[in-house]
Amino acid sequence: MATQEIQRVLVSRRRIARRVQALASEIAASYRGRELVMVPLLTGSMIFLADLMRCLPLKMRVDVLAVSSYAGQMTRSREPRILYPKKLQVAGKHVLIVDDILDSGRTLAAVRAILRRQRAASVRACVLLRKHTALRLGMRADFIGFDIPDEFVVGYGMDYNHFYRNLPEIAVLHPSVIATGPHGGNSHSRIAPS
């Protein structure tokens, strides 16, 4: 990973680890004695989920969900769609959605509505990051890792055009990468899970 592609580190590994542990304590306290279904939204929440669930001393199942979305500032908005699985098994279950970033809030709103239609006993959401836009729009999540400015971030599972997920910290990309695409690519839109 060329370091000149990263403008700056926004959240260090150490701060992430401390906050994930604290979030897990909040979650464990509020679900005490209950069985949980964690529903991570692929692919950006993968590393967050892996760290979070290992700090959670609860009986749980994990049912991944792939949602199509457009990410990045320069893309057109579109309603998120569930790509996987065909059938959810959450009726009567306590569901905790796990996502990387709350931005416009459209993804989370769509997933919440779907899970409620499937008659989950309760639906709550845990996001690693809440962007300023989400805060301004009053978009809600029950457990929030960090509030961040409206900048495009990568690392700790989060990508730009599928790259940079393996960075261990949360970083802001250099604007020139966003203009030209990572490693010389130039695609700004996607419908694959982000």
Q: Please give the Cα distance from 122 to 97 (Å, whole number).
A: 11
Which partner, ligand IMP, Mg ion, none, binds residue 51 by CB below 5 to 8 Å per kind?
A: none
Which partner, ligand IMP, Mg ion, none, binds residue 88 by CB below 5 to 8 Å per kind?
A: none
Which partner, Mg ion, ligand IMP, none, binds residue 104 by CB below 5 to 8 Å per kind?
A: ligand IMP
Q: Which of 51, 100, 103, 159 is catalytic?
A: 103
Please identify, among the stretches 42-50, 83-91, 112-120, 129-137, the one whose residues bind Mg ion according to the rule CB under 5 A: 42-50
Angle at 73 between CA 71 and CA 76, to 5 degrees: 70
Residue 44 touching Mg ion (CB under 5 A):
yes
| Min separation Cβ 59 and Mg ion, Å | 26
- Catalytic status, residue 103: yes
Please identify, among the stretches 9-17, 44-52, 119-127, 155-163, the one whose residues bind Mg ion according to the rule CB under 5 A: 44-52
Per this entry, what is the length of the chain?
194
b/e code 13-37 from CB counts within 10 Å (16+ = b): eeebeeebeebbeebeeebeeeebb
Residues in the site for Mg ion, rule: CB under 5 A?
44, 194
Tell me which residues are annotated as active site: 103
